[in-house]
Amino acid sequence: MSFAPGWLRAVSRVNPLAYAVEDERALFRGDHVSWTVAGGSLVLAVTLLVAVLLGVRAYRRRAA
């Protein structure tokens, strides 16, 4: 993202998939214990939690 325009860099900072990509890159490099991996894993876990909660809520509304 270093060559991207400023607006695209700003969008990538709020995109959880960007953190997933950085997390995987660090893991493939063998950097298993780093802030990049910890931060990326945390962002992915929070994203998963929000997605599951929204899915359960939608299912309950549909089933009621």
pLDDT in tens, 4-48: 899 998 988 888 888 888 888 999 998 888 888 898 899 999 999
Q: Residue 1: is its pLDDT beyond 80?
A: no
List of residues 6+ apart from 26 with CB closer than 8 A: 34, 36, 37, 40
* Better pLDDT: 64 or 40: 40
List the domain boundaries for the chain. Answer: 6-63
Q: What pTM did the predictor assign?
A: 0.72
Cα 2 from Cα 61, distance rounded (Å): 44
At 2, the pLDDT band (50, 70, 90 cuts) reads: confident
What does residue 42 show for φ and ψ, rounded to 5 degrees?
A: -65, -45
